[in-house]
A and B are shown apart, each in its own frame.
Chain A
Amino acid sequence: MLRLEAVSKNYHLRSRVVNALDDVSLDIPEGDWVSVVGPSGSGKSTLLLTLGGMLTPSSGRVMLDSDSLYDLTPDQRARLRRGKIGFLFQTFNLVPYLTAAENVQIPLYLAGLSDNDQATKAVVLLERVGLGDRTDHKPAELSVGQQQRVALARVLANDPSVILADEPTGNLDPETTGQIMGIIAEINAEGRTIVMVTHSPQYAGLAKRTLRLDAGRMYPDAEV
């Protein structure tokens, strides 16, 4: 269960105060798939970072299961992310000097798995996303679609219960987008919670529900 309780986040920009999140309350039950839409600068980034324990809110609480994220120390939050949260980025954020398999091994290494277990599991995950024959390729040697699939395999490495995805198909062609959305649907069907920021009404529609953010305020789609 992921829950926001009256969360606000204010930025000070020169002498102005910007309300990136304005008294947002939200319950995301386990296994849910939520799409977040809204114009640029509406607070989507802030929402995802806050949900992922990477941006302390100005007020309010963020609960993941029984943990209040921001009552934990930064290192405790890092440990919690390692075990329960996966981030999927628009630009993939693969480490450029590591191979596909090594990129997938990063969360496994952080979780303390042995070298052999890391290697075995990375190959299985890459095979799952259809890249079993590209384990030794570096990101620059892969297409953008393949890179996003490596990123997906990396997200799945530690079997997270929550996946936070930012425009996961924003840089992809329609065919590759279809493949990625298929995998996301598949992993949601396995019971994982997905919060996905997107600009595409078509892909937002694949989620179980859609939320709209505007000027830091959150609206259920029906109210927009």
Chain B
Amino acid sequence: MRLRTLVWRELFERRNQLVTSFFAILLGITAIVAVKNITVFSEKAVARELDMLGANILVLPKSASVQDYYRADMQEEQFPEDYVDRLTMSDIQGLDNLSPKLSVPVTAGGREWTLTGILPKSEFQAKAMWQGAGIFTRPAEGCGVVADVPLLGNPETKARETLVRTRVIETLGDSEALVGADVAASLGTRQDDELILLGRTFSVIAILPQTGTVDDSRIFAHLHTVQQLAGKGEVINAIEIVGCCNEISAGLVQKINKLLPEAKVVTVKQIVDTQIRTNRMMSKLSMIFLVIIVLLGGASIANYMYANVFERRREIGTLMALGAGSSLILRMFLLKALLLGLVGGISGFILGTVLAVVLGPRIAQIPVLPMPMLMVWAIGLSVAIALAASYLPARRAARLDPSTTLQEV
């Protein structure tokens, strides 16, 4: 005989009550896990969509205006590429993507186009890892980093769209180029063709989709190649940043300003506002669900526990007459709550995950994968609700007056 024997046997003695309370916890945790799982993947999908809106922070030369930037950033003034290193190696949180660029005019097929030099992400990562620091070695939880979100549709197409919006590309060779839709149409260029610009031959690795913006008239190549061809040294004329919108609210722009006092740092307000508003709405929805379920689940368990204490008051009195102290009675009920919480949490996680994976794509049109971390979360929440809801009934049991529970004595 041990405490757990007492608890375990009693649980199965009153099966109807057990099933009712177990289902209360199971359904609550199932709903929480399913909603949370779908919400997390929805948030990532939304973050990815928001990323597609493009950069939300621009670093420009002091004299340049945002209008210059939108006119294909052809302003005369430049600043050192070193600014990128400063940002990369800083301890500023919330820089999800950096895209330095240098745009120069080029002529091809008798028309003037813009050759834009961009730096592939692999070079940032190599540099950051080499020096053991920097933005790509930091965790970026909740900042719209979407690398682990599975993409619907053709990955290659998505990669190109991302490039068009954010100038982020994983790798790019010295003599490789990506050609905007208008340029390709005008020059009759196709993928794998060669293109001569400023006396250098580029291999066209992709034709970008039509965007209806100035980007359709651009040709993208490696930044260092463009710098070399332009003969301007290691300079750039803009850094586009995808910043974590929460960090922007917390003063990211001011931090960048402090780091780069010689540059002008501006936010693209409409994009940032949309991001912040969407993120707030998603977290509010999650919180509302959580509160409702915690309250409903807690009330249900508390109700069950109070009924259980009432029903077992003679048994409690008997145990006290046999020498059980109040702490044993308290532990007896809390252990029961713990068991219910554990089993409810594990089962709720499994059922909730299955529901999320099955229903997620139908409800939210996004692929949803199991999140093992949610098991810890589900069990923790389930146990916490069960213990918190059971504490008062358990304390009432521990404080029962044994003389009133043994009526016939």
A interface residue numbers (CB < 8 A to B): 45, 48-49, 52, 54-55, 74-75, 78-79, 81-83, 87, 89-91, 93, 95-98, 102, 105-111, 115, 118, 154, 158, 166-167
Stretch binding the partner chain, chosen from B9-17, B189-197, B296-304: B9-17
Chain A residues, Cβ within 8 Å of B6: 95, 98
Chain A residues, Cβ within 8 Å of B319: 95, 106
CA distance in complex: A98, B5 (Å): 9
**Interface flag for B2 (CB, 8 Å):** yes
Residue from A48, A81, A89, A98 in contact with B323 in the complex, judged by beta carbons closer than 8 Å: A81
Query: By CB atoms of chain B within 10 A, which of A45, A97, A102, A115 has the most?
Result: A97
Interface of B is mostly: helix
* B392 CB → nearest A CB, Å: 19
Chain A residues, Cβ within 8 Å of B9: 97-98, 102
CA distance in complex: A97, B5 (Å): 10
CA distance in complex: A32, B224 (Å): 106
**Interface flag for B326 (CB, 8 Å):** yes
Interface of A is mostly: helix
* B404 CB → nearest A CB, Å: 9
Chain A residues, Cβ within 8 Å of B2: 109, 115
CA distance in complex: A106, B332 (Å): 13
Chain B residues, Cβ within 8 Å of A87: 318, 321-322, 409
Number of A-B contacts (CB under 8 A): 86
Interface size on B, residues (CB 8 A): 27
Residue from A91, A93, A105, A166 in contact with B1 in the complex, judged by beta carbons closer than 8 Å: A105
Chain A residues, Cβ within 8 Å of B315: 93, 95
CA distance in complex: A98, B10 (Å): 8
Residue from B314, B317, B322 in contact with A82 in the complex, judged by beta carbons closer than 8 Å: B322
B interface residue numbers (CB < 8 A to A): 1-2, 5-6, 9-10, 12-13, 314-315, 317-328, 402-403, 406, 408-409
Q: Find the B residue at minimum CB distance from A165.
A: B409
CA distance in complex: A97, B311 (Å): 14
Contact present for A102 and B325 (CB under 8 Å) = no
- Asked whether A95 and B318 contact (CB < 8 A) given A45-B409, A109-B1, A118-B1, the answer is yes
18 contacts between A and B (CB under 8 A): A45-B408, A54-B402, A54-B403, A74-B325, A74-B326, A78-B320, A78-B323, A81-B323, A87-B409, A89-B318, A89-B409, A90-B408, A93-B315, A95-B318, A98-B9, A110-B322, A166-B409, A167-B408
